[in-house]
Amino acid sequence: MWPSPPERLKFATIRPAYSSRQVLQVSSFPGNYNSTLNLDNVAELRLTDPFNGESVTLGWFSSPPVTIAQPQPGKPYEVPGGGASIQVGGPGIEIGALTMMEPPLLTIKFDFLHPVELIRVGERIFRVALVSATDKADAKAKIVMFFEYEFAISEEEPTAENRTAAISLETPLQSASTDSWTFAEMNKPIGKIRLQIPGTVNGKPNLVNLRAGTKAFLFDPTLGVVRFYMATNAGKSVDVRLLLSRAPAAAAGYSIAFAWDNSKGASLRVDDKSTSDGL
């Protein structure tokens, strides 16, 4: 016979709310550093640039990085997310480990003016707080760059208020142009796209993330950065970026253009500033 309601309570289990302190490190000195925040094994946030002694950026990726300990010269390796492969090295060239990852779906900046973010994964909400950021560079030890970031993570109740305030992969992205023409153009071996992007839409930051194959474009007014990244036919990773020089304005917007050649590299222009790598 099935236990009565009071008896059933004896068998009920309550999952304790998740709580953790975790430390991320990044350094120019070789070592085994942790660069990933673990949200109770349901999501990961990985350290990505930009970062410094006062702020750090965490990326939310759709798939984990892939590391090939001993890549074979000339052998194609599929880039995470599919759609392209990379070949490294050649005759007589010694190759170290190869790590490949696709661009993040979202980037989240933490600093001491805005140290806390709520992250929603399914029906669970995590409070992620930057506790400290330490510059541990040591010129005497020839450690040019070494940053350490401590985070406090706690699980919050999934109230309507917390759900509204939380960041999630379901957060809609306000795209400048996501029609089939844009993605068809980005899949071409050579191309150029011009966009006029407002900094805000309906009073909220206008985050634009366009991805096609190994190419990705990111406009992030919260971080104040515009990026275009791709992999060339030879496997070179190209990442061109510019900082936004003025406050986001819904009316004016930014004039942006990015161009690429799969055999050479890419260029990026934002208003009157420009940069390039290989073009």
d(CA 220, CA 214): 19
One domain for residues 161 and 221? no
How much is the pLDDT for 63? Answer: 58
pTM of the model as a whole: 0.52
How much is the pLDDT for 177? Answer: 42
d(CA 84, CA 237): 13
One domain for residues 112 and 40? yes
One domain for residues 243 and 269? yes
How much is the pLDDT for 212? Answer: 74
Q: Please list the rounded mean pLDDT of every run of 10 residues in the chain (279 residues).
A: 50 73 91 91 87 88 62 63 50 51 71 90 94 92 91 94 79 43 71 81 74 80 86 85 70 80 92 88
How much is the pLDDT for 78? Answer: 63
One domain for residues 151 and 31? yes
CB-CB contact of 241 with 274 (8 Å): no
One domain for residues 155 and 44? yes
Domains: count for the chain: 2
Sheet with 208-212, edge to edge strand ranges: 208-212, 215-220, 225-231, 237-243
One domain for residues 153 and 269? no
One domain for residues 58 and 119? yes
How much is the pLDDT for 236? Answer: 83
Range of the domain at 246: 180-277
One domain for residues 116 and 58? yes
The residue from 136, 165, 194 where one domain ends is 165
Residue 217 domain-assigned? Answer: yes
One domain for residues 111 and 205? no
How much is the pLDDT for 9? Answer: 47
How much is the pLDDT for 229? Answer: 87
One domain for residues 140 and 33? yes
